[in-house]
Chain A
């Protein structure tokens, strides 16, 4: 079945360590996104990529980095520069080129940094 996978479901790290969250899709979608959810807040866009080898900062990109070397994969690295990394992270994808696209979401990764 086509879909988006994120791994792991739960991730624990010590403060000061970089950590990479995985996102893979087999929907043949061109666009991919990373969102962050914090309690009491809406989903906030971290980074998005419209095509391989290209990506743009979202609204809260500071302390994060991404790569898009393959169409299927869009890993997110949470660096030690991110001041409040503990959060729930969602990856999504969509078909490119349609104004009325919908986004397909993965199951999310809950990151806890202590």
Chain B
């Protein structure tokens, strides 16, 4: 089983702060890296899927980068808002399959107003 690690485990920021967190994964047999946002009492929702080294994706105030050679991805949130409070999950395609994902434990972000 692949080891996908996320840090920090939890994070508290003030409204308006910018923040970032990390997803680390084995760099061998890499297919794709996914980021999901999981708000309390809702379903996980896809944010980004990245496949190429150096990929950068952006959606509003949220962006992500990918380094497949060293095995990490960063998720950035600019000007955090209370509605950004959620658990952010990253997941990697397992080698040899286009379907299986291995998830990290997530980073719980709380944005205080």
Contact = CB atoms under 8 A, between A and B. Distances in A.
State whether these chains interact.
yes
Interface of A: 4, 31, 33, 35, 40-45, 48, 50, 58-59, 90, 94, 97-108
**Category for how many chain B residues contact A:** 20 to 34
Interface string B32-63: 10101000001111100111000000000000
Interface of B: 1, 4, 31-32, 34, 36, 42-46, 49-51, 89, 91, 93, 98-106
A13 B45 CA distance: 29
Contact of A43 (B1, B31, B89): B89
A35 B99 CA distance: 13
15 contacts: A4-B43, A33-B99, A40-B105, A42-B4, A42-B105, A42-B106, A43-B103, A50-B99, A58-B100, A90-B44, A94-B99, A99-B51, A102-B49, A103-B46, A108-B43
Contacts of B45: 105
A5 B106 CA distance: 24
A105 B91 CA distance: 14
A109 B94 CA distance: 25
Contacts of A58: 100
A42 B43 contact: no
B69 to A, nearest CB: 19
A99 B98 contact: yes
Nearest to A108: B43
